[in-house]
Amino acid sequence: MRLKDRVALITGGARGIGYATAEVFIREGAKVVVVDVDAEAVREAAQSLGGGTVGMTMDVTRRSSVEEGVKKIVDDLGSLDILVNNAGIIKDAQLSKMEEADFDAVVAVNLKGVFNTTQCVAKYMVEQGRGVILNASSVVALYGNFGQTNYVATKAGVIGMTKTWARELGRKGVRVNAVAPGFIKTRMTEGIPDKVMEKLESMVPMQRMGEPVEIANAYLFLASDEASYINGHVLSVDGGVTT
């Protein structure tokens, strides 16, 4: 078991990649805290995952919500060893049509939320002298994407923060890395028309969409001691899109 007895916090963990990551981490011996803004989804996920999974409602855009949640995790479980900043939303539109409110909403969750959660968690990790922080970026952060000004900006920003935090926290025993998923089968992609889906798949050298568990396995590797000398890296898991 590669994560035996370690405590992992996964934001946006009630569905999709976050849920798959929770499953993989539990299988490898971790005590997992699944957090999401949707209380009912959290309850259902924690019940389904079993294995002593802790479910917690948290709004990563609200600093007080994050501070209270992280403190409770440390108080109740004794440590916090792994953070997976997975929570994210999309509100797509071309530049000429994008509403300011939609730009701000995506930035609040995908960028400010990562900052809020990491700053709160890092304090405890530095105190205990160890920890792993994993951030969800995206393949589009590396080459841009039509109609996703807000989303691409946040995911590119996450890469910048990852590299900065790796420099600041590495000397204190905390590793910080990012994963850049390609086109993955999640709730976000369910509404994509078949013709668009076929076009997306044709862009991938492996000619298929990725599965959430394939991203979860990347998080597992980076969270484990097998990646003990990897810090400040962005791991693309995209079937070769960025080759």
Model pLDDT, residue 52 = 85
Flag whether pLDDT at 189 surpasses 80. no
- Which residues are paired to 148 by β-bridges? 93
Sheet containing strand 31-36, edge to edge, reads 54-57, 31-36, 7-11, 82-85, 131-136, 174-181, 234-237
Domain chopping of the chain, boundaries: 7-235
11-21 confidence digits (pLDDT tens): 999 999 999 99
Burial, 222: exposed, middle or buried (Cβ in 10 Å; 0-12, 13-18, 19+)?
A: buried
Model pLDDT, residue 139 = 95
Give catalytic residues, as residue numbers.
151
pLDDT band at 231 (very low <50, low <70, confident <90, very high): very high
**What distance in Å separates the CA atoms of residue 200 and residue 239, rounded to the nearest whole number?**
12
**What distance in Å separates the CA atoms of residue 130 and residue 115, rounded to the nearest whole number?**
19
pLDDT band at 197 (very low <50, low <70, confident <90, very high): confident
Name which of 58-67, 78-87, 88-97, 196-205 the model is least confident about.
196-205
CA of 134: how far to CAs of 76, 98, 104, 147, 191, in Å?
A: 22, 29, 23, 26, 28
Burial, 215: exposed, middle or buried (Cβ in 10 Å; 0-12, 13-18, 19+)?
A: buried
65-75 confidence digits (pLDDT tens): 999 999 999 99
- Token reading at 90: 């999309």
pTM of the model: 0.96
Flag whether pLDDT at 51 surpasses 80. yes
Model pLDDT, residue 99 = 98
Give the end-to-end CA distance of the chain in Å, rounded to a whole number.
32
- 184 backbone dihedrals φ, ψ, rounded to 5°: -120, 140
Model pLDDT, residue 56 = 98
Flag whether pLDDT at 193 surpasses 90. no
Model pLDDT, residue 3 = 98
Flag whether pLDDT at 199 surpasses 90. no
Residue 229 DSSP symbol? T
Query: Was domain 7-235 assigned CATH 3.20.20.150?
Result: no
Flag whether pLDDT at 98 surpasses 80. yes
2-11 confidence digits (pLDDT tens): 999 999 999 9
Flag whether pLDDT at 167 surpasses 90. yes
- Which residues are paired to 85 by β-bridges? 135
